[in-house]
Amino acid sequence: MHEGFPYGSIEVISGGMFCGKSEELIRRVKRASIARLKVQVFKHSIDNRYNDILVTSHSGFTYEAHAVVNIEQIRKLLKPDTQVVGIDEAQFFSDSLPALCRELADNGIRVIVAGLDQDFMGRPFGPIPVLLAIAEHVDKLTAICMKCGRPATRSQRLIDGKPAPSDSPVIVVGASESYEARCRNCHEIDDRKLGLVEQELQ
C-alpha cells in the first residue's frame, strides 16, 4: 500500500521497544530496493560512531545504514538521486528532524522514519511527536507485555532488575540497565515523579 504514493511522503513507524519498528522499516526498504528505487538508510548512533556503514541483518535480510549522530551528517551523505530515505532510531535526533523530513518529502522523496514514541517515563520522545503530526501515514506497533502478555505500548527501564529512578537521564550510554516491554497497567513509574509527567503532558 505504501508503494502507491506517487510523490514525496512521510511515514512514521512508532511504538515502544521490542515492537518490531526496525524490522518494519527494513521490510519497507527491502521492497523499495526490489522496486529498483534508490534507497539510503540512516541510523542514529548514540555512542558517537559516525559515518560508519552499519550492516544489519534481520530475518535473513542484510542492509546497509549510515551511522550518524546528527542531521548535518545526513545532509552531507544524501545522494542527489536518492528516492527513498529510511531513518532509524529517530527519537535521538534533534528537533530539526521534522523540518528535514518535510523538505525531503516536498522534494519528492519517500521518507520512512522509525522511532520510539515515548521514553521510559511514558513521555513523548524527542522529535517523534511532531513527525507523527506531519506524516501522511502512521503505524503504532505494539510489543507483548512481559508481565501480563497483553499488547505493550511502553518501555520499562530496569536497573539491577528494578524500575529505574525517574530522575535518571533519558539517555545513558554504556549503563548496566535493561528494558522490558510493558502495557500501560504494568508500566511502573516512581510515584513522586508521576506529577511531573502529567504536568508536561498538559
Q: If binding is defined by CB under 5 A, does position 151 make contact with Zn ion?
A: no
Q: Which is nearer to Zn ion, 77 or 186 (CB)?
A: 186
Given the residues 11, 24, 89, 180, select the one marked as catalytic. Answer: 89
Catalytic status, residue 177:
no
> Cα angle vertex 1, ends 90, 22, to 5°?
25
**Which stretches does DSSP call E strand in the chain?**
9-15, 39-44, 52-58, 61-68, 84-88, 110-116, 137-141, 143-144, 151-152, 154-159, 162-163, 177-182
Cell numbers describing residue 9: 511522503
Instruction: Give the per-residue contact string, 61-100, with Zn ion (x = CB under 5 A; - = no).
Output: ----------------------------------------
Q: Which stretch binds Zn ion (CB under 5 A): 65-73, 89-97, 122-130, 144-152?
A: 144-152
**Which one-letter DSSP state was computed for residue 140?**
E
Candidate ranges 40-48, 57-65, 118-126, 143-151; the one touching Zn ion (CB under 5 A): 143-151
**Footprint of Zn ion on this chain (CB under 5 A)?**
145, 147-148, 150, 183, 186
